[in-house]
Amino acid sequence: MPNSRIYRSARPALATGAPRTGQPLRVLAIGSLLTVLSAALLVTGGVWWSTTRADQAAKDRQFQTVSYALTTSAEKISYDQESVAYWDEAVINTRNAFDEKWVDVNLGVWMYDYFKHDRVAVLDANDNVLYAMADGKQTTVGDRAPNAAVASLAAQLRQRIATGALDNYEAGKTRIPRVDDVGFVDGRPAAISVMVLVPHSNAVVQARGTECLIASVRFLDSSFLTDLANAHFLDSVRFSGSGDIAPDEQSYPLTTKGGEVLGSFVWTPKLAGARILSEVLPVLAAGLVVISLAIAFLIRQLRQTYTELVTSEAHATHLALHDTLTGLPNRAFLNERLDDALNDVRQGRGQLALVFLDLDRFKQVNDSLGHAAGDALICELAGHLTATLKAGNVLARMGGDEFAIVMRDIKGRVEVEALCRDIVAVVSRPFDVLGGQAMVGISIGVAIAPTAGLDRSELARKADIALYQAKRSGGQHFEFFTEDMSHTVQQRRDLEIDLRRALETGNELEVVFQPICAARDLELSGVEALLRWTHPRIGAVSPYTFIGLAEDCGVIDQLGDLVLRRACAVAGAWAVDTVSVNVSAIQLRQNDFAERVLALLDETGMPPTSLDIEITESTLIGGSEASGRNLKALRAAGVKISLDDFGTGYSSLSYLMKLEVDRIKIDRSFVRHLGESAQSESIVQAIVTMAHAVGVTVTAEGVETREQQDFLVDIGCNHLQGYLLSPPLSALRMVEFIAGNGVPCAASSSDTAAA
């Protein structure tokens, strides 16, 4: 670009040098010569200046690159170690009964083959070497004393453990305790990390002070320098301990955390910026083409795989007393055994526990991997549950992802709690299903007889109430029935009655509007309609509570129509491009939904092109034929379709291609961690890139900080929504907001904070 500016400025100078009247040739020649010389000097000086600046920028950039590479390489060793340090088997095979062969395969050779760690040592509680690996091969321990640099870091880590580092880790406040630094090992510069081995479950307990340590070394010469040169296009990279640096070389000091300089990394910087750019651009273009083709192939494969999984779903039928999929007893069989067990309890022969189990997030497995994968997961889970039960207990599949257990002759609540903890632990581990992995959880409800009653139906009702309470607590949890839980269920019933009353009167329900702004200039581009319920007795009720309640009790259609009608009637006259309204999956499944929406638009006078229907990924994935027909009819009329909470589902890419959506909204769970998590930043950038690749605009919701805003603008996000720009406003305050919106949204956020 600098060169193009110079050439553009030189052309007018040549033009003005030509005589416009009959001037002598000498004057013309001198003028032309001066012009040419001036242009040559200008171009030469500009090129020299640009080259000098480019060379300096290249040096600075390469210096920062080496600094970053060294820092991340040193830090990466610790992250590599976490793959084996957080492991029950690692603690058992090093501390309880040292298994040299197991340690060699899993803690030594694994770290060399997979992470390129050149040296690995396992230290006992006294920091003596139990095991050592060098270059992928086990070595003799020798005098059992570790390298001096390793010993120093091990001592520091022991001191941290003594001052509470493991306590903080076990309380969830920190990562696994570790100490890392650079130093010399075998006379070679190296990055060193020492980490404590900790169990990943409560099944393994180790007393404080008995922990073993794993020490890893990655040499910062040889293969590391080769990787550094290849990864960052550096020439002639070497390590110099003496500081001998040629005039045309550049260096970066290798410094310990204590400030001691161990030497320097030296390389020959590439300074021919324009030449390098001309060489790299074709490679980058080719790379982009390859990536684009790969992405297109991946999308096609995802669509094909999902179709195959859905079409291959098996429709299981139930036999008289056993489940055909798992071979477990079914509901009828369980009821017979439960009646028999209750008869024993009535006659004073012991206690029994009725345990209800329900999988968490199982629908996501069906939606993402297909029903065949879900069936495989159910079968594997049935095997795990069967293995946890003792003789005499009955496990049954009640249907779908629901199971029940009858525990006979229990010794007390402690025995049931132990079983529940074992089940939660088993189900929390990943399931390998059909070549993929699925993560689910489980909620458990328990009712004990005779305490909770002796009638089968009553006992089942109370176990179900306890299960509901476990679900409400977030899942992955178990609850025992108490009488207070019945009160909670009654409260929910009362809230349902109040919601129906609020729908009839309409006085307690209010539609508010949150501005949506263009990312580049923060000009108001649209609003999202949001429903608020102010209960006359308990105050504001969370939308999470009453929307779910409305879906459960069958009034979500009425609630959705109320929001849509008020939003169109009020916001249709505002100077905004779109009015967004959330629509539930239940609404979309109504055969006449599209017809009702278009009639309402005609009634309120709002053009269809101004309405934006927001749906979730689960609505698309689990949608019926009626849902698809409604979406197509609305799009044909000009209504826009947005995909809300994008990134939290499983089949986003295939559905972006299959179903035409106009916009996606990045879920706030990713936006919240921008500036804090490199992973969130990568995910958000990938979402924006992929959406733009298929012609879909992107809105980020939950924008609350300037740092989040700047990042989203930089990566090309189209629209922003969140409290940084404005909170949700009443219709009156929204009119005031629009009237004063001659300036960008963010400028008026302070004015709306009180709304």
pLDDT in tens, 408-430: 888 888 889 889 999 999 888 88
Residue 21's pLDDT band (cuts 50, 70, 90):
very low
3-state secondary structure of 347: coil
Q: For residue 304, is it within any domain?
A: no
Say whether both 146 and 264 belong to one domain. yes
Rounded to whole angstroms, how far apart are CA atoms 187 and 64?
A: 26
**Residue-level pLDDT at 89:** 92
Q: For residue 225, is it within any domain?
A: yes
Say whether both 504 and 649 belong to one domain. yes
pLDDT in tens, 80-99: 988 898 999 989 999 877 89
- The last residue of a domain, from among 246, 268, 290: 268
Phi, psi of 7 (to 5 degrees): -65, -35
Q: What is the number of structural domains in the chain? A: 4
Say whether both 97 and 225 belong to one domain. yes
Q: For residue 373, is it within any domain?
A: yes
Q: What b/e sequence results for 493-505 when a residue is b if at least 16 CB atoms lie within 10 Å of its CB, and e otherwise?
A: eebbebbeebbee
Residues 6+ apart with CB under 8 A from 571: 513, 527, 529, 579, 606, 731, 734
Whether the bond into 450 is cis, omega within 30 of 0: yes
Rounded to whole angstroms, how far apart are CA atoms 710 and 724?
A: 12
**Residue-level pLDDT at 161:** 92
Counting residues of the chain whose pLDDT is more than 70, the rounded percentage is 83
pLDDT in tens, 262-317: 888 887 777 665 455 455 457 657 776 787 788 778 777 777 766 666 555 433 33
Q: What is the CATH number of the domain that holds 122?
A: 3.30.450
Rounded to whole angstroms, how far apart are CA atoms 91 and 68?
A: 33
**Span 482-497, average pLDDT:** 73
Residue 133 CA: distances (Å) to CA of 78, 113, 226, 413, 431 = 17, 12, 22, 49, 33
Residue 18's pLDDT band (cuts 50, 70, 90):
very low
**Span 613-619, average pLDDT:** 78
Residue 194's pLDDT band (cuts 50, 70, 90):
very high
Residue 454 CA: distances (Å) to CA of 339, 344, 352, 410, 457 = 9, 10, 10, 15, 9
Residue 248's pLDDT band (cuts 50, 70, 90):
confident
Residue 209's pLDDT band (cuts 50, 70, 90):
confident
Say whether both 534 and 417 belong to one domain. no
Rounded to whole angstroms, how far apart are CA atoms 556 and 662?
A: 25
Q: What is the CATH number of the domain that holds 509?
A: 3.20.20.450
**Residue-level pLDDT at 619:** 64
pLDDT in tens, 325-376: 888 998 889 889 999 889 988 888 888 999 999 988 787 777 667 788 888 8
DSSP output for 329-342 = B-HHHHHHHHHHHH
Residue showing tokens 């055969």 = 591
Q: For residue 96, is it within any domain?
A: yes
Say whether both 162 and 91 belong to one domain. yes
**Span 542-553, average pLDDT:** 78
**Residue-level pLDDT at 50:** 66
Rounded to whole angstroms, how far apart are CA atoms 131 and 128?
A: 9
In the chain, the amino acid numbered 525 is S
- Residue 242 above 60 pLDDT? yes
- Both tokens of 746, joined, read 């963010």
Rounded to whole angstroms, how far apart are CA atoms 220 and 223?
A: 8
- The last residue of a domain, from among 217, 250, 268: 268
3-state secondary structure of 753: coil
Residue among 682, 746, 755 at smallest CA distance from 720: 746
Rounded to whole angstroms, how far apart are CA atoms 592 and 227?
A: 62
Say whether both 615 and 699 belong to one domain. yes
Let me know if 671 is exposed, middle or buried by CB neighbors in 10 A (0-12, 13-18, 19+).
Answer: buried
Rounded to whole angstroms, how far apart are CA atoms 295 and 392?
A: 54
pLDDT in tens, 467-489: 888 887 777 889 898 877 766 66
Q: Per residue, what are the HEC states of 498-552?
A: HHHHHHHHCCCEEEEEEEEEECCCCCEEEEEEEEEEEECCCEEECHHHHHHHHHH
Q: For the chain, how long is the longest CA-to-CA vector?
A: 131
Let me know if 430 is exposed, middle or buried by CB neighbors in 10 A (0-12, 13-18, 19+).
Answer: exposed
Residue among 129, 186, 134, 127 at smallest CA distance from 157: 127
**Span 208-225, average pLDDT:** 86
Q: Average the pLDDT over each of 240-244, 425-429, 623-627 and give the range with the smallest value.
A: 623-627
Say whether both 626 and 497 belong to one domain. yes
Say whether both 574 and 679 belong to one domain. yes
**Residue-level pLDDT at 749:** 40
Say whether both 442 and 549 belong to one domain. no
- Residue 547 above 60 pLDDT? yes
Q: For residue 752, is it within any domain?
A: no
**Residue-level pLDDT at 705:** 92
**Span 582-601, average pLDDT:** 89
**Span 719-744, average pLDDT:** 84
Q: Can you name the residues that pair with 396 across neighbouring β-strands?
A: 404
**Residue-level pLDDT at 693:** 86
Residues 6+ apart with CB under 8 A from 729: 512, 513, 514, 515, 737, 752, 755
Rounded to whole angstroms, how far apart are CA atoms 669 and 199?
A: 29
Say whether both 46 and 123 belong to one domain. no
Q: For residue 317, is it within any domain?
A: no
Residue 169 CA: distances (Å) to CA of 91, 111, 693 = 16, 23, 43
Rounded to whole angstroms, how far apart are CA atoms 368 and 44?
A: 61
Residue 20's pLDDT band (cuts 50, 70, 90):
very low
Question: Is 101 within 8 Å of 91 (Cβ atoms)?
Answer: no
Residue 68's pLDDT band (cuts 50, 70, 90):
confident
**Residue-level pLDDT at 618:** 63
Q: For residue 151, is it within any domain?
A: yes
- Residue 3 above 60 pLDDT? no
Q: How many CB atoms lie within 10 A of CB 570?
A: 21
Question: Is 208 within 8 Å of 45 (Cβ atoms)?
Answer: no
State which of 351-355, 497-501, 548-552, 742-746 shows the largest mean pLDDT. Answer: 351-355
Q: How many CB atoms lie within 10 A of CB 128?
A: 13
pLDDT in tens, 638-694: 999 998 877 665 545 555 666 578 898 988 888 998 888 888 899 899 889 988 988
Measured in whole angstroms, the distance separating CA 188 from the mean position of its chain's CA atoms is: 39
- The last residue of a domain, from among 481, 506, 523: 481
Q: The domain containing residue 518 runs over which residues?
A: 493-734
Question: Is 725 within 8 Å of 745 (Cβ atoms)?
Answer: yes
Rounded to whole angstroms, how far apart are CA atoms 489 and 552?
A: 13
Residue among 688, 464, 730 at smallest CA distance from 571: 730
Question: What's the length of the chain?
Answer: 755
Let me know if 162 is exposed, middle or buried by CB neighbors in 10 A (0-12, 13-18, 19+).
Answer: exposed
pLDDT, mean over the chain: 81
- Could you tell me whether strands 611-616 and 697-701 are parallel, antiparallel, or unpaired per DSSP bridges? unpaired
Rounded to whole angstroms, how far apart are CA atoms 330 and 346?
A: 24
Rounded to whole angstroms, how far apart are CA atoms 379 and 372?
A: 11
Q: What is the CATH number of the domain that holds 432?
A: 3.30.70.270
In the chain, the amino acid numbered 15 is A
Between the two ends of the chain, the Cα-to-Cα distance in Å is 48
Let me know if 654 is exposed, middle or buried by CB neighbors in 10 A (0-12, 13-18, 19+).
Answer: buried
Q: How many CB atoms lie within 10 A of CB 349?
A: 12
pLDDT in tens, 146-166: 888 899 999 999 999 999 999
In the chain, the amino acid numbered 408 is R
In the chain, the amino acid numbered 434 is L
Say whether both 472 and 541 belong to one domain. no
**Residue-level pLDDT at 61:** 78
What kind and span of H or E run contains 179? Answer: strand 178-185
Q: For residue 303, is it within any domain?
A: no
- Residue 104 above 50 pLDDT? yes
Comparison of pLDDT for 53 and 36, the residue scoring more: 53
Say whether both 252 and 338 belong to one domain. no
